[in-house]
Structure 1
Amino acid sequence: MKDSYPPQPPTILLVEDNPGDVRLTREAFERSTFDATIECVKNGDETLSYLDGCGDSRPYPQLLLLDLNLPKTDGFAVLEELRRNDERPRIPVLVLTSSNADEDVLRSYELSANAYLTKPDCPEEFIEMVETIESFWFEEVHLPPPPP
């Protein structure tokens, strides 16, 4: 892990309303060698509330895994709000969704998503995805330092 990264396990905010996908993602993190804290919210409103509560009471997550198809405020609206609000630190956002529609990919990147991933079909592929996320986003990429 990069020296500038916090010594404690990173926190990843999973934004997912499907309980089966939450379970698969959590199990993939548990079965991988990646030590991370996974916080989970079910919709865009909860995501923005979670982030509004970060700072003094809890640290900001180092990464967001964001589904697009959410009840209430959807993933696109979350991306819009994250990029519009300059008071929050820039948190890398990986769209993790079942859609592989070109218009969803394009719109996600236009709204400053850092990556677009299609959800794997089986648990083994979820584990591979988690290990790839860990390797790339927490070992190779230089992330911005957390806010003071």
Structure 2
Amino acid sequence: MQREPFDPPVMSTERSILLVEDNPADLDLTLRAFRRRHLLNPLLVARDGQEALDFIPRWSAGEPLPLVVLLDLKLPKVPGLEVLRTFKANPLTRPVPVVVLTTSDEDADIESAYSLGANSYILKPVDFDKFTQVASQIELYWCALNKPARQ
């Protein structure tokens, strides 16, 4: 796991957002959109499915759970649907909302994601301004309005 240069320390009192994204262009687009929004929560990045799953032992050891996981489906090492299945099967991570943020508009992917416990399914817009709007809505709902489960 690599942290972006603007990230606050991992053990910040603010709960983080975990972004699971392997595509460098999509990662850059997402990071720029959140920067433009002046996101207050730390943003952690996992660049493949295994890096995302590697957070579970850290959370078990006491690191704060994220407020929300933004999960791409098309990931190397461990596919996004398997990451989702693992997160939702684990009693520790089950309450953490998982928002699928992907380019896949396949009915099978949408149905699978929801049957595995995804809390939302959002198609990635390719236009930066539209992506900034999506980032704003994600931040507003999941970081400001939504009441997270206790850790």
Tell me the distance in 2 between the aligned counterparts of 1:73 and 1:22: 18
Q: Which runs of 5+ in 2 are unaligned?
A: 1-11
**TM-score, scaled relative to structure 2:** 0.85
Q: What is the SS of the residue equivalent to 1:106? A: helix
1:52 to 57, 60, 76: 57
* Letter matched to residue 23 of structure 1: D
1:140 matched to which residue of 2? 145
CA contact (8 A) 1:29 1:36 kept: no
1:3 matched to which residue of 2? none
1:14 to 19, 23, 32: 19
**TM-score, scaled relative to structure 1:** 0.87
Tell me the distance in 1 between the aligned counterparts of 2:41 and 2:92: 25
* Letter matched to residue 44 of structure 2: E
2:67 matched to 1:65?
Answer: no
Distance verdict in 2 for CA 1:55–1:87, change over 3 Å: closer
User: How do 1:17-32 residues align onto structure 2 when only pairs under 5 Å count?
Assistant: 17-32=22-37
Structure 1 window deviating more from structure 2 (116-125 vs 31-40): it is: 31-40
Taking only aligned residues, the RMSD between alpha carbons, in angstroms, comes to 1.7
Tell me the distance in 2 between the aligned counterparts of 1:133 and 1:8: 20
* Per-residue deviation, 1:55: 4.5
Structure 1 segments (4+ residues) deviating >4 Å: none
Q: What is the SS of the residue equivalent to 2:59? A: coil
Tell me the distance in 2 between the aligned counterparts of 1:89 and 1:70: 20
CA contact (8 A) 1:10 1:35 kept: no
1:83 matched to which residue of 2? 88
